[in-house]
Chains A and B, each alone.
Chain A
Amino acid sequence: MSQIFHRSTNLVSRVSIYGAVLIIGALGYALYAIAMSPWYTDQNVKRQQPVPFSHRHHAGELGIDCRYCHTSVEKSSFAGVPPTQTCMTCHSQIWTNASMLEPVRASYRDDTSIPWIRVNALPDFVYFDHSIHISKGIGCTTCHGQIAEMALTERAGTLYMSWCLNCHRQPEKFVRDKSEVFNPFYEPPSGAKQLELGRKLVKEYKIQSYQHCSTCHR
């Protein structure tokens, strides 16, 4: 009786059996890697804006307070994006004919809003409130990253639920003194010190680490 298969088939079959395991594992990892990649999360991805607004320049170099533009950050869930008027308070005086600022002037002139591209967007079923985080001593840069060094603003975190929970489960690792909340250059004390400070502040500010679903989902 003639052989149907060549000897090598044995090898092939063995390899394929063990190979299968590896391949499946690899696929799983690949998926995870993609889910975590900036390409997918937009983390650290610079967004082109109608006006190349630089936080580095305004918040960093000029040291303008965050609240000058994001007026409602202490009062409301929404930090607020400055109306053109706010831009014009200065730019009606300085750089009055910088071509870069033409869209701003245009907006003010013909009363049409500037369509900014949203950098930090949460899904509609997530309800985040700026004011409470601010008032509990969570700094802007904790979530928005080194904003004072961003020429074009980018998303600093993955904005995944795990990313939120990471802080909600251990606020002491992130909380800072209320006076430092709006400081874009704030350097948290190293490891142990931060924990020490954090624990103190958590008590002082009565920070509960809410983790039940309706905290953010309704």
Chain B
Amino acid sequence: MSQDSNPKNSIDLAAARAKLAGEGGRRFWQSLEELSDTKEYRNFLENEFPANSEKDADGINRRDVLKLMAASAAMAGLSACTKLPTEKIVPYVRPPEQIIPGRPLFYATSTQQGGVATGVLVESHMGRPTKIEGNPEHPGSLGGTDVFTQASILHLYDPDRSQTVVFEGRVSTWSDFVAAMGNARIRLSPKGAGLRFLTRTVTSPTFGSQMRGLLAQFPEAKWHQYEPCSQDSAREGARLAFGRPVNTTYHFDQADVIVSLDADFLSRGPGHVRYAREFASRRDLSAGPASKLNRFYAAESMPTGTGASSDHRLPLRSTDIDDLARQLAAAVGVAVPPSANASAKIPAAWVSAVARDLAAHRGSSLVIAGEQQPAFVHALAHAINAALGNVGKTVVYTESIEANPVNQLESLRDLVNDLNAGRVEILVIIDGNPVYDAPADFNFADALQNAKLRVHSGLYKDETAELCHWHAPAAHFLESWSDARAFDGTVGIVQPLIAPLYDGHTAHEVLAAFSGDSGKSGHDLVRGYWQSQRPEKDKAFETLWETSLHDGLIAGTALPAIAVALHADFVSLGRQQTASGDASALEVVFRPDPSIGDGEYANNGWLQELPKPVTRITWDNAAMISPGTAQHLSLTTGDYVSLKLVDRSMHAGVFIVPGHADNCVTLHLGYGRSRAGNVGTGPGFNAYLLRNSASPSVAHGLQIEKTGEKYYFASTQQQYTIDVEGHPAEEESQAAFSRDLVRIATLDEFRKDPAFAKKTEEEETKDLTIYPGFKYEGYSWGMSIDLNRCIGCNACVVACQSENNIAVVGKDQVMRGRAMHWIRIDTYFRGNLENPEMYYEPLPCMQCENAPCEYVCPVGATTHSPEGLNDMTYNRCVGTRYCSNNCPYKVRRFNFFLYSDYKTPSLYGMRNPNVTVRSRGVMEKCTYCVQRINAARIRSEEENRTIRDGEIITACQSACPAEAIVFGNINDPNSRVSKLKAQTRDYSLLDDLNTRPRTTYLARVRNPNPEIRD
């Protein structure tokens, strides 16, 4: 955390600011003079529980924790000298087929983000889903996952989920709901005027057909769709370029040169998991010097995980991207007039170099525009790709995957107008929260009141549910029958792994309640639809259905590529669509939050506590600005400011981000929820308050005023500090590089010296030890992490949390340096603050062969296994924390309080039964998923064979969309991990300590364009 004061001058303002920025947990009134007084600051920190920690993570209230800890202390205390309580065994009465008690089963299903499906395999223990993995068969996943997918299991067991049907605040039942909907339906005019449906983006064919059927029944009913961070601009861009909303898919594995126009394609948007894998496959150096890398240029306003993985990053206000796009387009021969408001920030040399690079790779290059960009930029991207002959090669167009592609903003606008005009009798909101996330100028909350009957179906009793007459709890996707299309149109089947925990029902069932066939179950509806669609009949269909359920997708449903012609006059059409407002004024960009999206994941403790890429902030969003802008506005990290945009305003804490574009503020959406649940209600600032329909993603003329208050962020890693003159004093990163923690070379350097990452003394010191080393016969486990593949997406962090029952500790504890993640992603900056290179380094336990933690433990709670693991035995640990002190990598985590939630029954079901839930006062750490190792060993020994390479896949490895993490037996020279470790780029952290880590890294190799100096 950044309370470290600037080394050069003793206590200075900046130091004090920096201090406050990192530590503490609440605003309090203080003059800047006081800030530099460390005593004040200290007093504050000594204040035991900062105000906002009263409501702790995953709903653990402080007081409860206290009570609990009292209890647990007693229990644990006694456990040393009491007998085990008598347990009961409750067997089945009639055993279900295929379940072997104690053995997990895997089922294929699909999760959705923005309606787009990602295929997953879900691990189920005795009928309880416990872990989500990617589905290798599914085109949208290829086995990888992302943070949202990994964390969605927590939503299933979330105690805050809405559990009962509610009518006007009173508990009701589903049957009453159905009945009520039936009556309402009858009361409607025959044509169904005034019946309105509002959903999020829908790709489900079944839902689509249901809706079409319903609209056929009621011609005057309407279906609106709204998603706060939708694909509108992409949709409109396509319409602009081709005259109709086509779906664009990319082949990053085919692309040698990639240009991203503010696109965060590795962490968001349709197919991002697959794209991450394809992208990473082109950062692979296993062929040594011979291997070819792609070259990736990223222009973006806010540093994203995607931008950090680029070879050339151009920090550019979102507004100026338009200019860049036009220049690039012109350079590759698209006739387009220069931008009305040209940007001085775009180096001509840069553009020409990129253009040359693109031109040199006709058919194997790729230009992609981001969600925040206006339609015209998307159109330009299409034009450039067309001009470069990439279409059909790296860029493929298909029909839209949506059931009904509409401009969602306009769709919502219609609804609001109808509402205000009193034309809405019944409004059915299915899985959406417009009261919270609709553009502010719609005043949706007020408009909503004009609907005679308001019905809401969703996972939570959220802001919208509060204003509706009826609320019906939605079924979690792990409880649902449904279907959804992947980015390429492939239909994934959603099948339930567990009967609804509460009274949850799917969107299909809600619709059915209106279309009259309320009797039908979700299963009947989905299966029925496909039976009607497929040519196969009876038996044939039966088999198809079975295989589809097994594979999680219906084979061959990917949409075929289509040929589209670029409109000659899209430029003239596009003119009036360029960004509005005084472009020179301070720009504000609204982005979905990298951890909690547009707010739908707000009540997820895992995601809230997830350190965001680059900033490492947890539990908050912030007004993010560049160091330059900070200077200019004399702001600093931790200033609590009021933001004014036109007639609306909000408050937020300022956070300075190196590499952010100047004269631009990034606000992440999704925070400041008022009715999210115990976890999501409270943290952060609601950026929707500033967002208006005229400019939903980029606006100008933001005004910032200091309030004089301070706001404290919980960042898991100390960032650089800025001293008064604004010179960077980034001690951490400096040290990181002087200590060779991250080893980097350019492709050319690598080709000259493939062993650049090796240090000679590393080899020499190997056997300088007086103790005889361990003999590792049989297996010896090791891990290799390819820094060149890692995109810092955090999927491994959440996967680990899910697999290993890792507790959530809350903002206050994170600020106190007690986050529990077993694998963390260290981030370091190199170069100037304006546009630094960013480096990720995932850090699990290194499983040292000479482990400093082992010999200092007084009770032998952490010991060396014959296979080279540093075993951690929780029940033996007495918590002296000596091991943590002596761990040079600081990967050990300690339960300073009772962090594990012992009191919420619903969470019991979620826990991995093969991993002990740690109690208070116990050290814990990564074990290479030893439970998986043991399971594989037992299976192999029963089958009288050795464990196959790739049979054991650690949670982090399986989650990684970029395949950056590989685990295996390093005694087997042919194992994948051995081969990787044999690469010249292989190096270990702090090798001069001779700890001999089993986890080693493959050095990062950049592929910069020699023509560009930055």
The answer to whether A and B touch in the complex, with CB atoms under 8 Å apart, is: yes
B83 touches A127 (CB 8 A): no
Report the bound CA distance from A69 to B86 in whole Å. Answer: 22
Q: Which residue, A82, A115, A127, has most C-beta atoms of chain B within 10 A?
A: A127
B863 touches A212 (CB 8 A): yes
* B955 close to A (CB within 8 Å): no
Q: How far is the CB of A168 from chain B (nearest CB, A)?
A: 13
Which stretch of B269-277, B466-474, B937-945 is in the interface?
Answer: B937-945
B86 touches A117 (CB 8 A): yes
* A194 close to B (CB within 8 Å): no
Contacts of A131 in B (CB 8 A): 938, 942
Closest B-chain residue to A78, C-beta based?
B102
Give the contacting residue for B871; candidates A72, A113, A213; CB below 8 A: A213
Give the contacts of B862-921 with A (CB-CB under 8 A).
863-866, 869, 871-876, 914-917
Report the bound CA distance from A129 to B6 in whole Å. Answer: 56
Which stretch of A12-20, A21-29, A60-68, A104-112 is in the interface?
Answer: A104-112
* A166 close to B (CB within 8 Å): no
Give the contacting residue for A72; candidates B83, B101, B915, B930; CB below 8 A: B101
Which stretch of A1-9, A93-101, A118-126 is in the interface?
Answer: A118-126
Closest A-chain residue to B103, C-beta based?
A76
Chain A residues touching B, majority SS: loop
Contacts of B87 in A (CB 8 A): 117-118, 121
Give the contacts of B678-713 with A (CB-CB under 8 A).
none
Q: Give a binary string over B468-497; 1 marks a CB under 8 Å from any A CB, 0 the rest.
A: 000000000000000000000000000000
* B100 close to A (CB within 8 Å): yes
Query: Residues of B with Cβ closer than 8 Å to A?
Result: 83-84, 86-95, 100-103, 863-866, 869, 871-876, 914-917, 927, 930-931, 933-934, 938, 941-942, 944
Contacts of B931 in A (CB 8 A): 127, 218
Contacts of A124 in B (CB 8 A): 916-917
B874 touches A112 (CB 8 A): no
B91 touches A84 (CB 8 A): yes
Q: How far is the CB of A25 from chain B (nearest CB, A)?
A: 20
Report the bound CA distance from A131 to B944 in whole Å. Answer: 13
* A164 close to B (CB within 8 Å): no
A72 touches B103 (CB 8 A): yes
Contacts of B93 in A (CB 8 A): 83-85, 107-108, 111-113
Contacts of A135 in B (CB 8 A): 941-942
Contacts of B927 in A (CB 8 A): 214, 218
Report the bound CA distance from A212 to B927 in whole Å. Answer: 13
Report the bound CA distance from A210 to B454 in whole Å. Answer: 64
Contacts of A41 in B (CB 8 A): 83
B865 touches A82 (CB 8 A): no
Query: Residues of A with Cβ closer than 8 Å to B?
Result: 40-42, 72, 75-78, 80-85, 107-108, 111-118, 121, 123-125, 127, 129, 131-132, 135-136, 206, 212-215, 217-218
Contacts of A116 in B (CB 8 A): 88-91
B103 touches A206 (CB 8 A): no
A83 touches B94 (CB 8 A): yes
B916 touches A125 (CB 8 A): yes
Contacts of A217 in B (CB 8 A): 871, 873-876, 916
Chain B residues touching A, majority SS: loop
Report the bound CA distance from A108 to B876 in whole Å. Answer: 43
Contacts of A81 in B (CB 8 A): 89, 91
A215 touches B941 (CB 8 A): no
Known: A118-B86, A127-B934, A214-B869. 4 other contacts (CB 8 A): A80-B100, A84-B91, A85-B93, A212-B871
6 closest Cβ pairs, A-B complex: A78-B102, A76-B102, A83-B92, A212-B865, A118-B87, A214-B871
Contacts of A129 in B (CB 8 A): 934, 938
Q: How far is the CB of A4 from chain B (nearest CB, A)?
A: 43
Report the bound CA distance from A41 to B84 in whole Å. Answer: 9
Closest B-chain residue to A131, C-beta based?
B942
B101 touches A80 (CB 8 A): yes
A115-B90 contact given A76-B103, A206-B941, A218-B934, CB 8 Å threshold: yes
Q: How far is the CB of A87 from chain B (nearest CB, A)?
A: 10
A72-B102 contact given A113-B93, A116-B89, A116-B91, CB 8 Å threshold: yes
B914 touches A115 (CB 8 A): no
Q: How far is the CB of B799 from chain A (nearest CB, A)?
A: 17
Closest B-chain residue to A122, C-beta based?
B84
Contacts of B915 in A (CB 8 A): 218
Contacts of B869 in A (CB 8 A): 214
Q: Which residue, B101, B103, B876, B914, has most C-beta atoms of chain A within 10 A?
A: B101
Contacts of B94 in A (CB 8 A): 83-85, 111
Report the bound CA distance from A125 to B102 in whole Å. Answer: 16
Closest B-chain residue to A39, C-beta based?
B83
Contacts of A213 in B (CB 8 A): 863, 865, 871-873, 876
Q: How far is the CB of B490 from chain A (nearest CB, A)?
A: 35
Report the bound CA distance from A108 to B423 in whole Å. Answer: 57
B88 touches A115 (CB 8 A): yes
A215 touches B934 (CB 8 A): yes
Closest A-chain residue to B126, C-beta based?
A78
A77 touches B102 (CB 8 A): yes
Q: How far is the CB of B854 from chain A (nearest CB, A)?
A: 11
Report the bound CA distance from A136 to B873 in whole Å. Answer: 25
Closest A-chain residue to B867, C-beta based?
A212
Report the bound CA distance from A113 to B869 in whole Å. Answer: 42
B914 touches A127 (CB 8 A): yes
Report the bound CA distance from A129 to B934 in whole Å. Answer: 10
Can you list 29 pairs linking A and B with CB atoms under 8 Å apart? A72-B101, A75-B100, A76-B100, A76-B101, A81-B89, A84-B94, A85-B92, A85-B95, A112-B93, A113-B91, A114-B91, A115-B88, A115-B89, A117-B86, A127-B914, A129-B934, A206-B944, A212-B863, A212-B866, A213-B865, A213-B872, A213-B876, A214-B873, A214-B934, A215-B934, A217-B871, A217-B874, A217-B876, A218-B927
B84 touches A123 (CB 8 A): yes
Report the bound CA distance from A77 to B914 in whole Å. Answer: 11
Report the bound CA distance from A15 to B869 in whole Å. Answer: 55
Closest B-chain residue to A41, C-beta based?
B83
A72 touches B934 (CB 8 A): no
Report the bound CA distance from A116 to B89 in whole Å. Answer: 5
Q: How far is the CB of A39 from chain B (nearest CB, A)?
A: 9
B914 touches A218 (CB 8 A): yes
Contacts of A72 in B (CB 8 A): 100-103
Report the bound CA distance from A107 to B93 in whole Å. Answer: 7
A118 touches B89 (CB 8 A): yes
Report the bound CA distance from A212 to B860 in whole Å. Answer: 11
Contacts of B863 in A (CB 8 A): 212-213
Report the bound CA distance from A18 to B872 in whole Å. Answer: 44
Report the bound CA distance from A129 to B720 in whole Å. Answer: 50
Closest A-chain residue to B102, C-beta based?
A78
B103 touches A42 (CB 8 A): no
Contacts of B934 in A (CB 8 A): 127, 129, 214-215, 218
Contacts of A125 in B (CB 8 A): 874-875, 916
Closest A-chain residue to B86, C-beta based?
A117
Give the contacting residue for A218; candidates B90, B95, B930; CB below 8 A: B930
Q: How far is the CB of B787 from chain A (nearest CB, A)?
A: 28
Closest A-chain residue to B942, C-beta based?
A135
Report the bound CA distance from A10 to B100 in whole Å. Answer: 74
Report the bound CA distance from A64 to B875 in whole Å. Answer: 39
Closest B-chain residue to A76, C-beta based?
B102
Q: Which residue, B89, B103, B872, B916, has most C-beta atoms of chain A within 10 A?
A: B89
Report the bound CA distance from A214 to B871 in whole Å. Answer: 6
Q: How far is the CB of A48 from chain B (nearest CB, A)?
A: 11
Report the bound CA distance from A42 to B84 in whole Å. Answer: 10
Report the bound CA distance from A8 to B298 in whole Å. Answer: 97
Q: How far is the CB of A112 from chain B (nearest CB, A)?
A: 7
A218 touches B916 (CB 8 A): yes
Q: How far is the CB of A93 from chain B (nearest CB, A)?
A: 18
Q: How far is the CB of A9 from chain B (nearest CB, A)?
A: 38
B100 touches A117 (CB 8 A): no
Contacts of B871 in A (CB 8 A): 212-214, 217
B938 touches A132 (CB 8 A): yes
Q: How far is the CB of A62 from chain B (nearest CB, A)?
A: 20
A214 touches B930 (CB 8 A): yes
